[in-house]
Each structure stands twice: as C-alpha cells, then as structure tokens.
Structure 1
Amino acid sequence: MPKRKAAIAVGGVAALGAAALLLPHANASQDDASAAGTAKTLKAADASDLAAQLQKALGDAIAGSYYDSARQQLVVNVVSGDDNVIVQAKKAGAAVRQVENSTAELKAAAGTLRTKATIPGTAWAVDPRTDKVVVTADSTVTGAKWDRLQSTVRSLGSGMATLKKSGGTFKTFVSGGDAIFSQVQGGTVRCSLGFNVKASDGSPAFLTAGHCGVAAKDWSDSQNGQPIATVDQATFPGNGDFSLVKYNDPATQAPSEVNTGNGQTVQINQAVDATVGETVFRMGSTTGLHDGQVTGLDATVNFQSETDPNGVDTVTGLIQTNVCAEAGDSGGSLFTQDGGAVGLTSGGSGDCTNGGETFFQPVTTALQATGATLGDGGAGAGGQAGAGDQAGAGDPSASAGGQAGAGDQSGAGDPSASAGGQAGAGDQSGAGDPSASGGDQAGGGDPAGTGEQAGGDQIGGSDTP
C-alpha cells in the first residue's frame, strides 16, 4: 500500500507580487550614534545566533538586542556605565547602544502589568529598539477598562512603557497553512498544520496551534475524511500556544518543508529563535504569503475567553510581529528566507488591508516542551530555493533547482494552482453548517466566511494516492 506523503502546504496562495515581498525592508535604524562603531556585517540568521551567544554569556547585563537591517548589524542594549559588558559585546562583533532601562526593570514593569492590567484585548512585549515595554489595547478596551490600563501604564513612568490602540480585536486565527479538520459537536473545527516534526519516540507528527489541540483531538486532511492524526500534547492558554499531533500511520512521510503553492517549496533546515528587527515570512491559506518584521519577544496576550464570557485566556512567551493575518491563518508557518522555522500563528488584531499585530508561538519553545525535533526532510519537487531567493520577474526557472522562492508569486498568478484548493477564511464553522468558515469556535460566532472552503484539501501538494 503506497505511503501517504504529508507536506506542509498552503492552499490557494494569493498573487501577491514577488518583488514587494521578497526584498527585505530597509528599516530606518532606531539606534543612536553609539551603535555605529566597527560591528560585524551579519545576515539576520547570524545575528540571531550572536544574540543567543551574548545572552547566554552576559545574561541580564544585556538589556535586549535587535537586528538593524539597514546596517546589517546586531545592536545590543547595555545599561549606561557597564563598561565591561560594552567591551565584551563589541569584541563579539555587535554594535552597542547605551540605554536607561535594565532587563530587570523591564521585566518588573511587565510583571506589574500582569498583576494590575490582565484585561481581555490587551498585550505587551519589550521592544529593545525603544528600550520600553509596548502595551497594546484592541478596540474592545474602552471605558473603565481603558482607564485602568492607562493608569497602570502611567504608574510605570514615562520612560518605561508606551501605550497604543489597535483598531481590531485580539483573537486566535484558527486555520491557515495546510487545512486540517475535526468533527465536533456543533460543527467542523478547521485549523492548519504548522511544521512537520518527529516526536520523541521517532514517530511522524506535526506542530500546530495549541488552541486547535484543545478544541479537538482527532484530525483529518479533508473536511469529511477519516482522522489521520491524533493530538498528543496541547498547551493553551498559559505558557504558550502549541500542539503536537501524531500521524496515525507510522509510515507517513513528513518532510521538513513549507509548500508555498504552484509546486514551489522551501526546505526547513532548522528551528531558530526570532530576533527583533528581522524580516520573517508567514504563509496562510486565507491571505497567502506576507512578510514583515519581528517587533517584540516574550509577549503576553490576553485573549477574551472563548468558554467564559467574563474570562480571559492569557498566553505568554509569544513573538510579536507586524506581519498581517486574518481569520483562517492560525497555525500557519512563520519562517525566514533561508529556511529557519520561527513560529506558529497564534492570534492577533487587524487584517491584511489595514495591518495590525500578529503573535506567534516560538517553534524552539514548542520543540523543547514536546520533545519533538524537526524532520530530516524529504525529496521535494526539484531544488529548494529559500523564501527570499527571487529569480527575477516571470523567470522562476532561474532559481536553484528550478523552484522559485516562497514569495515568488507574480501578479498574474493562479491561486487555484496550489495543491489542496483554497482554504476558507474562517477558523471555525458555525453550528449546523460545517461548510461555513469564519467563526472562531465550532458552533459560534461569525459563521459567515469570506473565502471558499474546499472540501477536499489534502496535506501537501505532493501527496501520493
């Protein structure tokens, strides 16, 4: 009996324009003159490695770091007067910026917010580029809730935190990536596959969002199909938003790759930690390929509870970005242009018309918690180009192995050409109507989807019968 090959795919990738997505944004540097110096020129991945090394060696003596993409340098924040740390950071090849707020002070500020302002629709994360805690409130935070949040932020001091409003509503973005389905009481739960992995016992598995694993146990690769995978571990809410789901067939081939549609894939080489300032790519079945920058780490997000109208689902340890996402993109892959697995789409606010904030579960944390490892790959269709390996307009054959990068979608692209069909815009179907995509939970809320649900989505464009 032929083996099923499970690849990470995104159905219906929109025609987004390759040049706009593949060229890293030249962000204006936000560091002061002290960061200029003789720092090494680094790629984002190398900067992430250096940041991890310095963090391990110097600990909280470093008040955060970020990647300056304009100068291609790692900038390390050091509290004024700590000359020994400055010398060590510069010797390692980083640019150094002297700041006022220490790591301990920033953590204390975040702790105060957790104690006094855990309000549904709020989020906060440390932004090393401003050396402050950035607090965000969505459109539901009004009246007494807004007054309480504003008062708490002010109590931290003007130089410690900033407060901003988001036009949308913080919610989990179930679905995205490869469509996976589960039948539950009240309708169909629809989520998405993030990255294929190997479980600690060597069996094939995949990572997806934790709220998907909490919502349902058994998952299929088609809307009314038989289950092909079973949740082994799930975390949500709390210290993360991730699930490990094992394939039921131990012979399932699960290559470590992201299928970006139209026969194009990006090989995933390793799990990497996010670095503030680096460019990242997100795939989602609703909105296709989008890129943006990491804006904060160790973010805390307070989602309105989906089971208790007066409750809050607090998730910690997330990556904050300005990459857009919409309902239907949750669980999808966040990765770098050179094949580093960064995160799993969790939730956020806004859309891909007006922008917003999107939060991701770090892959490195999910792997450590579940004991899983990234798969050792598989034979893709042709050579694998990185997400940023653009082959020039209209010439995908110029990329390595004849495959264009993850973002090489021309304006005249054919979204229907990607395997699995167009996935619906919604994350959970409405009660009694499994075909409706759009609600956040099975049986409730926003049952009207904006996308077209394909009943026969398959895991991977290279599935064998």
Structure 2
Amino acid sequence: MPKRKAAIAVGGVAALGAAALLLPNANASQDKGGDDTASGATGSAKTLKATQASDLAAQLQKILGDAFAGSYYDSGKQKLVVNVVSGDNNVIVQAKKAGAIVRQVKNSTGDLKAAAGTLKTKATIPGTSWAVDPRTNKIQVTADSTVTGAKWNRLQSTVQSLGSGMATLKKSAGAFKTFVSGGDAIFSQVQGGGVRCSLGFNVTAADGSPAFLTAGHCGVAAKDWSDSQNGQPIATVDQAKFPGNDFSLVKYNDATTQAPSEVNTGNGQTVNITQAADATVGETVFRMGSTTGLHDGQVTGLDATVNFASETVPGGTDTVNGLIQTNVCAEPGDSGGSLFTQDGGAVGLTSGGSGDCTSGGETFFQPVTAALQATGATLGNGGGNAGNGAGDQSGSAAPSASAGDQSGAGDQSGAGGDQIGGSAAPSASAGDQSGDGSGSADPSGSGSDQSGAASANDGSSLTSTR
C-alpha cells in the first residue's frame, strides 16, 4: 500500500491584498516596521535579519547576566536593541562589540518579573493579560471589554501599586477567548457536537513516529482527530497541556505517514519549515489560519500571561503563561495554526486573543520551542523520513519559555470547549464549519478546498493581509 501523505494545510482561505511579501530567499529581513528605536539607544550595530537578532539576543542574555533587561528588533533599521541596567562600561562595550545597539534603562529583568508576580497574585482576573514590552521597559497590562466595575478597579489599583514607570494599562475592545470554528481543518466528534482545530506543524515524536502540534485546548477537548468532517480518525492525542500551557502532540495512527515540514499558505504554495525559532519583539511574523488565511504583523511582547474565562468552570479562569503577544489579527477558526517567519522558522501555535481581522486586536501564541522541549518532538517528517527539513534545533528551546509552570496542566479530557479552526490534511474542506453543538457544518463557507495544495515551492510571491 502506498504511504499516506499528510500535508500541512494551515488554513484553507487564499489571502487577499498585499500587506507584506514573503521572500524566503532575500538576503535581508523583509520586516517593514517603522523606526521604533527608543530614545537613549546608542551605538552603531550590525544589520541583521530577525532570526539573527534573536540568536544574538540569546547570546547577550548569557553574557550580560543581571545587566540584561530585555531586547527588541528595530525592524526599520534591522538592528537589535539591547536594554542594560548596569552603568558598567564593560557591559556596554561587550554588547556593542557583539553588534547590538545598547540602551540604558531603569527596570531590571528581576524588577519586571517581580511586578508580574504581583499581578499574578492580586489581579488574575478573567479577561486580563500582561507581558514585558522591552521597547518601553515596562509591563504592558491589558484588560478586555469584560473587565468592568470592581474588577477594573482592582486591576487599576494593582497596576498603580507597582509604582511609577513599571507598567502601563490599556483597554481592549474585544474579549479574550480561544478561537472557535474553522476552515481547512482537523475534526473530532465528541458528546454534544463536533470539534475542529488547526494543525500547527508536523513533527516527529520522541519515539520516531509521525505527529503534529496543535493547540492544547484542542487536545483536552477531544482525543481522536480526522482530516474530514465525518471521516475516520487518522491521529490520536499523545500529550495535551491546557491551561498553564497551550500545546498538544497528536500522533498519526499510520506509522508510515509522510508528514512534510511545511506550511501551506494557499493557492498551491508552501513555505518550508526548517527550524524552531524563538520570537523577538519587533520582528515581523506570519500567521496562517483557516478562517482568515495569511496575515502578518509584529511581535509586541514575550512571556505573556493571559487569563481566559473558563469554558468549563463557571466564573473560573484558565490561565496560560509564557505566550508570545502579537498584533497579528485572528478570528474564530485560526487557533492551533502556525506562526512562522518568512525564512522558515516555526515560532508559535495560535492560542487565542481578542478582536478580528477588520478592527484588529491582540493574538497570543504558544512558543513552538517550548512545546518541542516539553514533548521531546522534533520538527520534520515521520514515516521513515524523520528529520527531513527539520533543521538544527539544538539549543532552540528557550529556558524561559512557556514549558515552565505546568502545574495542573495535564490531560484534562473534556476541559477545552473551544473548537478552534485550522488546518490539516489536503482532503479537508475549507468552509466555515463551526461547531454548533450538533456537529453540523456549512460546507459553503468562505474557504476553498486545498486538496493537493502542498506542492513544493519556495514560498515566493505570497502575500498576506493584516
């Protein structure tokens, strides 16, 4: 029998417009943000692609130790800006020699972590989030539209108690949620209706079997997954973490499945995924989703904490830590899908957020490096071709990423009611098929059938809408 080929089809909607161009073979980063280098940043530095900046930031964090207070990528100048809290000239010289712009700031990494700890203790309120923003050297605290009255007063007073210059507080027009519904998707049938989620990245499990990563609340919602609405299961959840983290490892039932390491970006085009990459604040990233197609934006914060209103415990909170915060838009159906860089770096798995692709909003992603570290999986093909296209992942799992605090985050079968949309094998239809409790679907949705769409190409000329 021929081997089954499971192609990543992360989103079945062809993107429209031309907000950003994916050019994987370009010599320099295609990030097109403005010059957001903060005042006080000094020194000449190397011109870097975003992935190079991420590597340099990790090196400088080790070299500078306690003097390191975060970093970000100035996408306009293609430079890495490093915050330092020490006036020691040796520290500044080391960072400059390494190729970074150096900026002296007030708040140390320890100060910012302590402030985040205070928020966790006093302000874990459904509909809130916080993340360190190295561009302002403060914690960015966000409250969604559900945080009002006494809850808002409590949050506001907690932020004020941190002291001047430590945190900012803003309101989001939408509500934080894990996204529901979808397009070209993976499916499961559970009591009370159907569930559909996005496939994130194909991987090889620690035992050598072919598998894929998706959102954790998909894995706790259902165990068996199919590549069609009413099809037979083709994969089974092996590990699922939510809340605390938000990732699942799902193994293909057929051990000979060939699962290519690529993201289908629509119109028969793919981007090869070659390595796991840590996010850098300021870099441009691309998200492929089943409902809204290909979109791009910037990373705005790291190590974010998001407090989702619990879907299973009335009045409860599902807290997820260590997420990547972005201004990439997303809508119901996009969760579980891929966040990646133009040069083939797997960055994140869509977790949730607020807003939509008309008005914008915040979207949060589970870091891929942390999911790989926690599951023992590696990027690339299974079925006897493990590691093909996986790239060198040594050292890719950041120790501060979200694989840390996982207390209580084990298999909580049935705990995740969200029915996130997304991607999967090429035979899946791409219509909007949100679960309505009956498992019925609207096959005439906005997506298109992506059968066979994962043909190899270099991903050039792909456009995205914000």
Give me the TM-score of the superposition, normalised by structure 2: 0.83
Identify if the C-alpha distance between structure 1 residues 94 and 461 changes in structure 2 by more than 3 Å, giving closer, same or farther: closer
Name the CA distance, whole Å, in 2 between partners of 1:232 and 1:377.
15
Report matched runs for 1:75-94 at 5 Å: 75-94=81-100
Written as runs of structure 1 = structure 2, the 5 A alignment for 1:64-463 is 64-174=70-180, 178-238=184-244, 240-376=245-381, 420-424=428-432, 426=434, 429-435=435-441, 451-452=445-446, 461=454
Structure with bigger RCO (C-alpha 8 Å, 6+ apart): 2
Q: Is the 8 A contact 1:9 1:419 kept in 2?
A: no
In structure 1, the partner of 2:423 is none
* Structure 1 match to 2:459: none
Per the alignment, residue 403 of structure 1 pairs with none
CA distance in 2, matches of 1:377, 1:13: 27
For the residues of structure 1 that align with 2:49 and 2:365, how far apart are their CA atoms? 22
Alignment partner of 1:42 is 2:48: yes
> CA shift at 1:87, angstroms?
1.7
User: Whole-Å Cα distance in 1 between the matches of residues 71 and 377 of structure 2?
Assistant: 28
> What's the CA shift string for 1:31-59, capped at 9, x where partnerless?
22433x12111111100110111122333
- Aligned equivalent of 1:389: none
Distance 1:436 1:310 in 2: 32
Question: Which residue identity lines up with residue 424 of structure 1 in the other structure?
Answer: D
**Secondary structure of the equivalent of 2:158?**
helix
Q: Distance in 2 between matches of 1:258 and 1:289?
A: 11
For 1:89-113, what per-residue CA distance to the aligned partner results, in whole angstroms no more than 9, with x for missing partners?
1111111000000000000000000
Deviation of 1:80 after TM superposition, in Å, equals 4.6
RMSD: 2.3
Distance 1:57 1:128 in 2: 18
Matched residue type, 1:297: L
- The structure in which a higher percent of residues are helix is 1
Aligned to 2:4: 4
Letter in 1 for 2:106: E
Judging changes above 3 Å, is the alpha-carbon distance between structure 1 residues 89 and 11 closer, same or farther for their aligned structure 2 residues? closer
2:35 match: secondary structure: coil
How many angstroms apart in 2 are the aligned matches of 1:246 and 1:49?
Answer: 31
Distance 1:421 1:434, change over 3 A: closer
Structure 1 residues without counterparts, runs of 5 or longer: 379-383, 385-417, 438-449
**Separation (CA, whole Å) in 2 of partners of 1:162 and 1:434:** 44
Provide the rounded CA distance (Å) in 1 between the counterparts of 2:379 and 2:71: 27
Assess if the C-alpha contact under 8 Å between 2:15 and 2:266 holds in 1. no
Aligned to 1:26: 33
Task: Decide whether the 8 Å contact of 1:286 with 1:425 is kept in 2.
Answer: no
What CA deviation, in whole Å up to 9, does each residue of 1:305-344 have, x standing for no partner?
0001210000001000000000100000000000000000
> What secondary structure sits across from 1:356 in the alignment?
coil
- Following superposition, the deviation at residue 262 of structure 1 comes to 1.6
Q: Is the 8 A contact 1:193 1:207 kept in 2?
A: yes
Separation in structure 1 between the aligned mates of residue 59 and residue 266 of structure 2, nearest angstrom? 36
Distance, in Å, in 1 between the alignment partners of 2:214 and 2:205 is 13
For 1:370 and 1:460, how far apart are their aligned partners in 2? 29
* Structure 1: distance between partners of 2:210 and 2:51: 27
| Distance (whole Å) between structure 2 residues aligned to residue 62 and residue 264 of structure 1 | 41
- Report the secondary structure of 1:275's partner residue: coil
- SS at the partner of 1:84? helix
SS in 1 for 2:362: strand
Q: Identity percentage over the alignment? A: 79
Q: By how many angstroms is 1:275 displaced?
A: 0.2
Alignment: residue pair count: 408
Question: In the alignment, residue 189 of structure 1 is paired with which amino acid?
Answer: V
Give the superposition deviation at 1:83.
2.6
Structure 2: runs of 5+ lacking an equivalent: 23-29, 384-388, 390-425, 457-466
Query: Quick one: which amino acid aligns to residue 108 of structure 2?
Result: S
**Superposition misfits of 4+ residues, deviation over 6 angstroms:** 456-460
Could you tell me how far 1:175 is from its partner in structure 2? 5.6
* Deviation string, structure 1 residues 355-394 (Cα, Å, up to 9, x no partner): 000000000000000000001599xxxxx9xxxxxxxxxx
The normalised TM-score by structure 1 is: 0.83
**CA distance in 2: counterparts of 1:214 and 1:63, whole angstroms:** 36
Alpha-carbon separation, structure 2, partners of 1:98 and 1:266:
39
